[in-house]
């Protein structure tokens, strides 16, 4: 077996330099969102994945931000620096591009800059933020800034390149739910990624990895360091089991993999997909595929929630409540229940809806419904992949 074909050869600490062979916008004109479908070739890597796994991606930073930092530091870019945990020095430009997180400054940065600024008004402003009673204000101040903001806003705080680099943490890989089944695509993984773009403190900002994939990687050319992150999130082992999947937005990604996988395996259990996003006309990701599965009965139920197509928000958990009796019947028949997507609000609200449905349909009090759901989790029939 060649080194490249050895399944254990590539992992988180030795990522595979993959090529991206497809980058396609999934939203239609008029959408507020930019969700992209990527195909990442694993050919020659020996890497294997299963439906439910994620792909780890090591991004690089935006060149424009790197150049702005070099300029604001008054540096050239070729100064040798030793980043956190590196063993050998490297040029400043390479360190800022590849290995360091230019975002998420902490209180430490405010303290360091407060100690350096020559402008008394700036020193006073930063010192005020460091007072115990200003904790909320400090949090807000940091949330709206990345490291470059400090250099731009407080130019009298001067940093030597190494000193600045010493304040930055390592850039961490990002995980993406794999949206394909190895039974259909053994040598490639598909991803469904929202390009993160927003504006704070009068600056356009981007998510590092989502825009690395969307904007900066040249198709079939640039190597993208990746690894497979094996997960416990899996379709039912027993293909006869029914499968309920709740995945609004990019939460749909692993369920595209699950359904591909179950169809390819000839699983006889039914599939029920709850999906939604902002607008049906522009945001129905993989619409053709879902409608084809539904037409063939490979997806037995497809319940859609378009949050912004009417005055009041309609979410996936509203659709669950509308079909509470049937959902309960599926659960009582041994169905597995899965949730993927936003952790902050959606997954909590879906969990609440599930508790209410179990209590109402099963004629249980709150404690009994909670115990029923705890048992589902114990049997691995209630699994979540949320972020």
Examine residue 276 and tell whether it contacts ligand NAP (CB under 6 A). yes
List, in order, residues 6 or more apart from 302 with CB less than 8 Å away: 272, 273, 275, 290, 291, 293, 294
321 within 8 A of 246, measured Cβ to Cβ:
no
- Residue number closest to ligand NAP, CB atom: 249
Closest separation between CB of residue 306 and ligand NAP, Å? 7
Q: How far is the CB of 200 from ligand FAD (least distance, A)?
A: 5
Residue 10, Cβ density class (10 Å: 0-12 exposed, 13-18 middle, ≥19 buried):
buried
Euclidean distance between CA atoms 188 and 375, whole angstroms:
36
CA atoms within 13 A on the CB side of 143: 6
Instruction: Pick what 278 binds: ligand NAP, ligand FAD, none; C-beta below 5 to 8 Å, kind-dependent.
Output: ligand NAP
Question: Which of 106, 131, 140, 200 touches ligand FAD (CB under 6 A)?
Answer: 200
Q: Contacts with ligand FAD in 232-291 (CB under 6 A)?
A: 250, 253
Which H helix or E strand runs over 176? strand 174-177
| Piece in contact with ligand FAD (CB under 6 A), picked from 60-68, 174-182, 269-277, 365-373 | 174-182
C-beta of residue 240 within 8 angstroms of C-beta of residue 268:
yes
CB of 385 to ligand FAD, least distance (A): 6
The binder of ligand FAD chosen from 176, 284, 315, 338 (CB under 6 A) = 176
35-41 and 16-25 beta bridge pairing:
antiparallel
Residues 289-318 that bind ligand NAP (CB under 6 A): 307-308, 313, 315-317
Beta-strand pair 54-57/174-177: antiparallel
Q: Which does 193 bind (CB under 5 to 8 A by kind): ligand FAD, ligand NAP, none?
A: ligand FAD
DSSP 11: B
The tokens for 372 are 């029923």
CB count within 10 Å of CB 288 equals 8
Least distance CB 153 / ligand FAD (angstroms): 17
What whole-number distance in Å separates Cα of residue 157 and Cα of residue 112? Answer: 9
Q: Cβ closer to ligand NAP: 236 or 251?
A: 251
Residue choice 143, 345, 374, 377 for contact with ligand NAP (CB under 6 A) = 345
The residue (of 10 and 176) whose beta carbon lies closer to ligand NAP is 176
Q: For residues 109 and 150, is the Cβ–Cβ distance under 8 A?
A: yes
* 324: contact with ligand FAD by CB under 6 A: no
Instruction: Enumerate binding residues for ligand NAP (CB under 6 A).
Output: 35, 194, 248-251, 276-278, 307-308, 313, 315-317, 341-342, 345-346, 349, 387
Instruction: Enumerate binding residues for ligand FAD (CB under 6 A).
Output: 54, 103, 174-177, 192-194, 196, 198, 200, 207-210, 250, 253, 385, 387
């Amino acid at each position: 077996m060649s080194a490249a074909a050895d399944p254990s050869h590539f992992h988180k600490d030795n990522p595979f330099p993959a090529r991206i062979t497809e980058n396609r916008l999934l939203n239609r004109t008029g959408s507020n969102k930019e969700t992209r479908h990527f195909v990442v070739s694993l050919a020659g890597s020996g890497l294997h994945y299963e439906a439910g796994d994620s792909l780890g991606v090591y991004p690089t930073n935006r060149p424009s931000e790197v150049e702005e930092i070099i300029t604001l530091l008054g540096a050239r870019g070729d100064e040798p620096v030793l980043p956190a945990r590196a063993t050998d020095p490297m040029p400043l430009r390479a360190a800022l591009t590849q290995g360091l997180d230019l975002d998420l400054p902490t209180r430490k940065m405010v303290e360091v800059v407060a100690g350096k600024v020559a402008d008394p008004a700036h020193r006073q402003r930063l010192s005020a933020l460091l007072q115990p009673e200003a904790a909320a204000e400090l949090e807000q101040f940091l949330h709206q800034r990345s490291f470059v903001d400090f250099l731009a806003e407080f130019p009298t705080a001067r940093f030597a390149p190494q000193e600045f680099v010493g304040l930055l943490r390592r850039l961490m890989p990002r995980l993406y739910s794999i949206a394909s089944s190895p039974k259909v695509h053994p040598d490639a993984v598909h991803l469904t990624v929202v390009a993160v773009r927003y504006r704070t403190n009068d600056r356009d900002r981007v998510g590092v990895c989502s825009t690395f994939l969307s904007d900066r990687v040249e198709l079939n050319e640039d190597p993208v360091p990746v690894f497979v992150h094996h997960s416990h999130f899996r379709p039912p082992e027993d293909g006869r089991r029914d499968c309920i999947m709740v995945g609004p937005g990019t939460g749909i990604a692993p369920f595209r993999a699950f359904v591909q996988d179950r169809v390819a395996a000839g699983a006889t259990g039914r599939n029920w997909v709850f999906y939604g996003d902002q607008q049906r006309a522009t945001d129905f990701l993989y619409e053709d595929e879902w409608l084809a599965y539904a037409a063939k009965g490979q997806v037995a139920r497809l319940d859609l929630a378009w949050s912004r197509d009417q005055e009041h928000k309609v979410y996936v958990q509203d659709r669950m409540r509308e079909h509470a009796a049937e959902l309960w019947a599926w659960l009582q028949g041994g169905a597995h229940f899965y949730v993927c997507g936003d952790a902050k609000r959606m997954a909590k609200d879906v969990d609440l809806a599930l508790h209410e449905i179990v209590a109402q349909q099963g004629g249980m009090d709150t404690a009994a419904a909670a115990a029923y759901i705890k048992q589902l989790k114990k049997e691995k029939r209630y699994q979540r992949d949320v972020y």
